[in-house]
């Protein structure tokens, strides 16, 4: 597609895509600039959705005036429109250019405990929110409201928080009409609806409400309306989306607190009281800066708990430090389940893979990256930009498109792969590596790299199983999924996929010998949904499912599932469940409640001959279920 910047033609291609949301596509046009292109009503993502097409017409029409009146003198952390992008005649605004932020992550990732354990401390998060607090205060002083304030339009680099999507800001009589369900102020919504529907305009107070939601999520890994609400009175049941409207928070006695979240007792009373006032008692106003400036995390010398209180909530002040207990090697039995310890570390388990009938893993402890046999493969600190893959005893470390293969007894080798959207395009199985370079999908062969097929450069994500692989790329107007045989060349890119048009937040896939289970988190129409698509090895669609991620189902988490033959095993906070496709849908066909003590929704599962391996942050057990 051709657009014009300062009357000069700029040709956009899918290879340049660096982001895709519900309302626009974003491209890297070089020289440190990004170009945001608004989706027109005829965009493929809107086909068959007349309401979305009309919303696009209204949005494009308003932008013709709103962007020309964008306020000046805004805080430096606002990624503001720099030059308007137009059609050939220079009359119709199609988008705008802006500074390109490299090496930044969306704030949403800081709510993910697995991401945070790669070296991002709680105190670093406090500094991020201090920086964000300054920017929000300055925006309000300039009579600008953010409006649709959410953790996808905040980009974090180090401890700096940048605001993007500035075209949706509310200023000069132009209202912000869009909202995100998890962050919209319920006081502005229809209280009698079964989900948040914005009825009153955003304001500075609603911005601070969203700020408070994001802070709580990043500190505790659960938002104010997380957990599962199971009231004893059946008449009190609510759809999960309606909980903010009825103020049924995570503090409610009939809400089951999620296991992977941090206990809120780790926070100081002043901050907890503020959360309670905002989410339970409808207090509104600027977030008190002192609550951030006085928030200091420390580690208890007795039990090792990290907390932000004056004293450890787990220890009495007079408690004498006890010697650390050695990990138990004794199996634990719960009715029909036996759990046998396999591995325990005081560090962090970073990666696990089941290959050649063995479980392999990589962990970090005391400045060393070590394998399951205790071998140190690398020394250094945790780094969230590192990605790990295992191939038997070989450890692969990827960063910004460079992959280092650390082979015991043979040193390290280096290769370059495509890199985009924060991911290096490489995957492994027990006998080979697979990677994308310059848009070509390759694999290890006997005499060197072997060509499999062509994909989209710097845009492709893929996964491999024992028999076949699955991949996808989505950029601009392209939305393609494909399968391929792990042994032979050739790509089948006619995979049947359900329609989706929003912003892709996360994607993962696990494969059995004949099925690929694709898991997607998508921000669509202001709401996050989790989807699962089960694809056969021939590319046909077996089944699909879609859920609200807060509803407490097996699909609340995208990661850690285990595909076995024709079914899936998933860990939840209430135990392991078995899911099977039937008549195009996915059903829980069996649950294992006796496993509840040994798993939670963040656990990884691997099926082995000895039983079912459960990998957590610091432990590995093997479960035997009678």
- Name the strand (E) or helix (H) holding 474: strand 468-475
* pLDDT band with cut points at 50, 70 and 90 for residue 332: low
Mean local confidence (pLDDT), 513-521: 96
Predicted confidence at residue 326, as pLDDT, reads 39
Predicted confidence at residue 329, as pLDDT, reads 55
Per-residue pLDDT tens digits for 55-86? 899 999 999 999 999 998 899 999 999 999 99
Per-residue pLDDT tens digits for 238-256? 999 999 999 999 999 999 9
Per-residue pLDDT tens digits for 83-113? 999 999 999 999 999 999 998 999 999 999 9
Give the integer Cα–Cα distance in Å for 223 and 221. Answer: 7
Find where tokens 């601009």 sit. Answer: 476
Predicted confidence at residue 324, as pLDDT, reads 36
DSSP string, 445-489: -SSSEEEEEE--TTTEEEEE-SSEEEEEEEETTEEEEEEEESSS-
Give the integer Cα–Cα distance in Å for 177 and 180. Answer: 10
* pLDDT band with cut points at 50, 70 and 90 for residue 334: low
Do 1-100 and 104-299 agree at the fold level?
no
pLDDT greater at residue 40 or residue 322? 40
* pLDDT band with cut points at 50, 70 and 90 for residue 294: very high
Q: Minimal CA–CA distance to 220: which of 297, 147, 335, 333?
A: 297
CA atoms within 13 A on the CB side of 69: 13
Q: Residue 316: CB partners within 8 Å, gap ≥ 6?
A: none
Q: Is a pLDDT exceeding 90 seen at residue 360? A: yes
Q: Is a pLDDT exceeding 80 seen at residue 261? A: yes
Per-residue pLDDT tens digits for 41-60? 998 888 888 888 998 999 99
Q: Is a pLDDT exceeding 90 seen at residue 19? A: no
Return the CATH fold of 1-100.
Phosphorylase Kinase; domain 1 (3.30.200)
Predicted confidence at residue 606, as pLDDT, reads 97
Share of the chain above pLDDT 90, in %: 82
What 3-state DSSP class applies to 271? helix
Predicted confidence at residue 405, as pLDDT, reads 94
Give the integer Cα–Cα distance in Å for 340 and 324. Answer: 21
**Of the options 2.130.10, 3.30.390, 3.40.50, 3.40.1130, the CATH number for the domain spanning 332-625:** 2.130.10
Predicted confidence at residue 106, as pLDDT, reads 95
Q: What is the pTM of this model?
A: 0.92
Task: Name the class of domain 104-299.
Answer: mainly alpha
Given a contact cutoff of 8 angstroms between Cβ atoms, the answer to whether 519 and 531 are in contact is yes
Predicted confidence at residue 333, as pLDDT, reads 57
* pLDDT band with cut points at 50, 70 and 90 for residue 319: very low
Predicted confidence at residue 323, as pLDDT, reads 35
Across-strand partners of 3? 10
Predicted confidence at residue 327, as pLDDT, reads 44
Q: Where are the domains of the chain?
A: 1-100, 104-299, 332-625
* pLDDT band with cut points at 50, 70 and 90 for residue 356: confident
Per-residue pLDDT tens digits for 174-213? 999 999 999 999 999 999 999 999 999 999 999 999 999 9
Q: Is a pLDDT exceeding 90 seen at residue 435? A: yes
Predicted confidence at residue 411, as pLDDT, reads 79
Mean local confidence (pLDDT), 535-554: 93
| Mean pLDDT, all residues of the chain | 92
């Amino acid at each position: 597609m051709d657009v014009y910047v300062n009357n000069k033609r700029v040709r956009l291609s899918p290879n340049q895509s660096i982001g895709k949301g519900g309302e626009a596509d974003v491209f890297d046009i070089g020289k440190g600039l990004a170009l945001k292109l608004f989706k027109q009503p005829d965009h493929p993502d809107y086909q068959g959705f007349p309401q979305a097409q009309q919303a696009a017409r209204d949005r494009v029409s308003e932008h013709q005036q709103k962007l020309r009146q964008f306020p000046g003198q805004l805080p430096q952390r606002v990624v503001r429109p720099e030059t308007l992008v137009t059609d050939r005649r220079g009359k119709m605004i199609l988008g705008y250019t802006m500074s390109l932020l490299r090496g930044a992550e969306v704030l949403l990732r800081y709510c993910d405990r697995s991401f945070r354990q790669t070296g991002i401390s709680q105190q670093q998060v406090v500094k991020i929110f201090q920086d964000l607090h300054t920017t929000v205060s300055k925006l309000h002083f300039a009579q600008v409201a953010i409006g649709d304030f959410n953790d996808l339009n905040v980009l974090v680099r180090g401890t700096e928080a940048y605001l993007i999507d500035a075209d949706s800001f509310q200023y000069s009589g132009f209202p912000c009409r869009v909202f995100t369900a998890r962050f919209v102020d319920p006081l502005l919504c229809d209280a009698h609806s079964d989900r948040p529907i914005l009825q009153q305009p955003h304001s500075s107070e609603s911005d601070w409400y969203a700020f408070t939601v994001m802070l709580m999520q990043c500190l505790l890994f659960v938002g104010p309306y997380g957990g599962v609400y199971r009231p004893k009175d059946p008449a009190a049941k609510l759809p999960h989306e309606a909980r903010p409207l009825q103020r049924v928070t995570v503090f409610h006695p009939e809400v089951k607190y999620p296991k992977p979240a941090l206990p809120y007792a780790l926070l100081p009373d002043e901050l907890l009281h503020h959360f309670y006032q905002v989410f339970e008692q409808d207090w509104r106003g600027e977030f008190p800066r002192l609550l951030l400036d006085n928030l200091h995390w420390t580690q208890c010398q007795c039990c090792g708990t990290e907390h932000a209180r004056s004293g450890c909530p787990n220890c009495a002040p007079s408690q004498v430090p006890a010697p650390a207990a050695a990990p138990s090697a004794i199996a634990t039995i719960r009715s029909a389940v036996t759990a046998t310890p396999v591995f325990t570390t005081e560090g962090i388990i970073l990666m696990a893979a089941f290959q050649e009938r063995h479980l392999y893993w990589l962990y970090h402890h005391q400045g060393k990256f070590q394998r399951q046999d205790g071998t140190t493969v690398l020394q250094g600190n945790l780094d969230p930009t590192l990605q790990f893959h295992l191939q038997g005893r070989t450890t692969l470390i990827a960063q910004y498109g460079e992959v280092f293969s650390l082979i015991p007894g043979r040193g390290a080798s280096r290769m370059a792969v495509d890199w985009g959207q924060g991911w290096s395009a490489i995957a492994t199985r027990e006998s080979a590596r697979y990677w994308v370079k310059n848009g070509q999908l390759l694999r290890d062969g006997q005499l060197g790299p072997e060509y499999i097929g062509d994909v989209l450069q710097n845009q492709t994500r893929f996964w491999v199983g024992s028999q076949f692989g699955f991949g996808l790329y989505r950029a601009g107007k392209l939305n393609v999924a494909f399968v391929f045989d792990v042994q032979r060349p050739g790509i089948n890119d006619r995979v049947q996929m359900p329609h989706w048009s929003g912003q892709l937040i996360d994607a993962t896939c696990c494969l059995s010998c004949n099925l690929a289970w694709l898991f997607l988190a998508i921000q669509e129409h202001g709401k996050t949904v989790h989807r699962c698509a089960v694809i056969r090895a021939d590319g046909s669609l077996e089944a699909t499912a879609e859920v609200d991620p807060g509803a407490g189902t097996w699909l609340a988490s995208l990661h850690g599932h285990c595909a076995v033959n024709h079914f899936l095993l998933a860990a939840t906070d209430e135990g392991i469940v078995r899911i099977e496709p039937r008549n195009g849908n996915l059903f829980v066909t069996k649950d294992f409640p006796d496993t509840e003590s040994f798993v939670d929704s963040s656990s990884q599962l691997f099926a082995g001959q000895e039983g079912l391996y459960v990998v957590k942050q610091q432990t590995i057990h093997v479960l035997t279920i009678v």
